[in-house]
Amino acid sequence: MNTGIWPKITQVRDLSIIELDDSQRILVACDSIGAVGAKELDALQVPYFIVGRCAARVPLLELLAVGARPVLISDCLTLEMEPSGREILAGIQHELKLLGLEGKCHLTGSTEENFVTRQSGIGITVVALAGKEELRIGKVRPGHEIYCFGIPKVGAEVDLDDPDIISFNTVVKLLQYPQVHEMAPVGSKGIRYEAELLTRSCGGRLQVDSRCPLPLTKSAGPATCLVAAVEPGSGETLYRDFSLPITYIGRIVG
């Protein structure tokens, strides 16, 4: 193995970014789900098709939000292929179809065939490509306003077809707005955590609006909402153009 040439790898929030050359990047996002499924010891009883959808949704949204193109999904399942794994794969493929990536994004993985398991678990990794100039990373500046798109929901509250949560279409549409500088899906650590990560990337701090009605520390489950740093004064346009709930969180101060 030639160890003389090694690509630079940086971490931005939950994304690992590999610099192939001056212009091309590989991005890696991952997620895991445990004790959710249809097995005896699962804490939340959910059809495996839904488990697969949730598992794929989170890293796909993380990559889409920065402008990357998913090209490969690896799923590691702590359960048997038939019938549980097959249903999970169907859920993953459903999400790819929603994105128009069915047959384009390669799917690989592994299952547990040596032992009978009594609790479900899945680890998922998504690999994506992007040009350096395409990435919506490092664009946040003091003065930008922070908005939340969607409502944080977790566990039994989650319905992936709920109009109050973000979809792939939400992210794709937001990428078309130049006044939306950067965005990040919200997961288990809540809105405030992700918003503060955005603000710290420019050396600023988050000034939360005292009238904000959202629970800022509540888990958003499988990325049911996202935070975005937008140009001041853009709120009315966003409220008009999007049908899902949009909430002003605050602004970035230097």
Q: What is the pLDDT of residues 163-203, one digit of tens each?
A: 999 999 999 999 999 999 999 999 999 999 999 999 998 98
| Cα-trace Rg, the chain | 19
β-bridge mates for residue 45, sequence order: 37
User: Using CA atoms, how far apart are residues 91 and 83, in angstroms rounded to an integer?
Assistant: 13
What integer pLDDT is reported at residue 73 of this predicted model?
98
Task: Report d(CA 48, CA 56) in Å as an integer.
Answer: 12
Q: Which two tokens stand for residue 73?
A: 């999904």
Q: How confident is the model at residue 31 (pLDDT cuts 50, 70, 90)?
A: very high
Interval 198-241: pLDDT, tens: 999 898 999 999 999 999 999 999 999 999 999 999 999 999 99
Q: Which residues contact 224 (CB under 8 A, 6 or more apart)?
A: 150, 151, 152, 153, 154, 158, 162, 165, 166, 186
- pLDDT the model gives residue 247: 98
At residue 139, does pLDDT exceed 60? yes
- What are 167's two structure tokens? 């979809």
Q: Taking residues 117-136, report their average pLDDT.
A: 97
Q: For each of the domains in the chain, give its residue range(s) and CATH number, in order of start.
A: 9-134 (3.30.1330.10), 145-253 (3.90.650.10)
